[in-house]
Chain A
Amino acid sequence: MTSQAVRLFRKMDGLFAVYKPQGVHWKHVRDSIESNLLKALNSCPPPAPQLAVQFQLLSGGENSSSKDVVLSPSMVPTLADHPLVTGPQFHKVHVGVGHRLDAFSSGVLVLGVGKGNGVLEHLCKSHVTRDYTLEGEFGKATDNFTHTGRVIEKTTYDHVTLDKLERVLAMIQGANQKALIMYSQVDLHTQEAYELAVRGLLYPHGKSPPILTGLRCIHFNPPHFTLEVQCVNETQKYLRKLIHEVGLELRTSAVCSGVRRTRDGPFKVENALTRQHWTAGSIIQAIAHFSKATRKIRKSEMYKQTAGQLNSNAQVQEQTRSQTEQINQQHVELSSSTSDTVVDRETPVTLSEGRTKH
Chain B
Amino acid sequence: MALVSLRSCGRRGFHLGLSAYVTRPVGTPRKREQQDDTPVFQYVGQHRKPQGKVFVWGYTGALGIPSFVVPDSGRKKPRKYQLTPYHLDTEQKISSAACGYGFTLLASNSRDLTKLWGMGLKKDSQLGFQRTQHDRYKSYDYVLEASPVSLPLVNPQETRVLQVSCGRAHSLVLTDSEGVFSMGNNAYGQRGRKIVEDEVYRFVLQQYKSSVACGQDHSLFLTDRGSVNACGWGADGQTGLGYHNKASCPVPVGGDLAGVKVQQVATYGDCSLAVSTDGHVFGWGNSEYLQLASVTEATQISSPRLLALRGVGRGRQAACGVTQVAVLNEEGEVFVWGFGILGRGPKLSESAIPERLPATFFGRSESNPTVKVSSIRCGLNHFAAITDRGELFVWGKNMRGCLGIGKHDQYFPWRVTVPGHVTDVARGVDHMVALVRSII
Interface residues of A (CB under 8 A from B): 22-23, 103-104, 147-151, 153-156, 158-159, 164, 167-168, 170-171, 174-175, 177-178, 188-191, 193-195, 197-200, 214, 216, 249-252, 334, 342-344, 350-351, 353-356, 358
Contact = CB atoms under 8 A, between A and B. Distances in A.
A119 to B, nearest CB: 29
Q: Which 9 A-B residue pairs are closest in the complex by CB-CB distance?
A: A194-B345, A356-B87, A342-B368, A251-B44, A354-B85, A353-B417, A251-B43, A156-B42, A23-B27
Given A178-B417, A188-B411, A171 B439 contact: yes
Contacts of B417: 174-175, 178, 350-351, 353-354
A38 to B, nearest CB: 27
B26 interface: yes
A155 B40 contact: yes
A164 to B, nearest CB: 6
Contacts of A174: 363, 389, 391, 415, 417
A237 to B, nearest CB: 13
B371 A342 contact: yes
Given A191-B346, A194-B344, A194-B411, A151 B368 contact: no
Contact of B363 (A188, A189, A251, A342): A342
A200 B35 contact: no
Nearest to A198: B358
A149 B43 CA distance: 22
B365 A358 contact: no
B310 interface: no
B75 interface: no
Contact of B44 (A154, A195, A252): A252
Interface in B257-307: none
Given A191-B345, A200-B360, A177 B415 contact: yes
Given A249-B440, A342-B363, 14 more contacts: A104-B26, A148-B26, A148-B30, A151-B35, A154-B39, A159-B45, A174-B415, A178-B417, A195-B345, A344-B367, A353-B85, A354-B55, A354-B84, A354-B417
B380 to A, nearest CB: 20
Nearest to A182: B414
A251 B363 CA distance: 26
Q: Per DSSP, are chain B's interface residues mostly helix, strand or loop, or mixed?
A: loop
Contacts of A22: 27
Nearest to B416: A354
Contacts of A188: 408, 410-411
A197 B412 contact: yes
Contact of A250 (B414, B420, B440): B440
Interface in B1-57: 15, 25-30, 35, 38-48, 55
Contacts of A170: 389
B419 interface: yes
Interface string B338-362: 0000001111000000000010110
Contact of A252 (B26, B43, B420): B43
B409 interface: yes
A353 B55 CA distance: 12
Nearest to B27: A23
B418 interface: yes
A348 to B, nearest CB: 11
B5 to A, nearest CB: 21
B122 interface: no
Nearest to B358: A198
A344 B368 contact: yes
Nearest to B57: A354
**Which of A22, A149, A167, A351 gathers the greatest number of chain B CB atoms within 10 Å?**
A167
A151 B439 contact: no
A103 B41 contact: no
Contacts of B168: none
B142 interface: no
Contacts of B30: 148-150
Contact of A171 (B35, B45, B368, B419): B419
A104 B27 contact: yes
Given A164-B440, A191-B346, A198 B360 contact: yes
Given A103-B26, A191-B346, A197-B412, A344 B44 contact: no
Contacts of A190: 346
A334 B46 contact: no
Contacts of B361: 197-198
A208 to B, nearest CB: 17
Contacts of A177: 363, 415
B431 interface: no
Contacts of B414: 178
B365 A344 contact: yes
A100 to B, nearest CB: 15
Contacts of A153: 38, 41
Interface string B72-116: 000000000000111101000000000000000000000000000
B128 to A, nearest CB: 28
A153 B35 CA distance: 10
Interface in B396-422: 408-412, 414-415, 417-421
Contacts of B84: 353-354
A334 B29 CA distance: 32
Interface in B146-186: none
A154 B368 contact: no
**Which of A151, A175, A216, A344 gathers the greatest number of chain B CB atoms within 10 Å?**
A344
Contacts of A199: 360
Given A150-B30, A342-B389, A194 B346 contact: yes
Given A191-B347, A252-B44, A354-B417, A23 B25 contact: yes
Nearest to A249: B439
Contacts of B35: 151
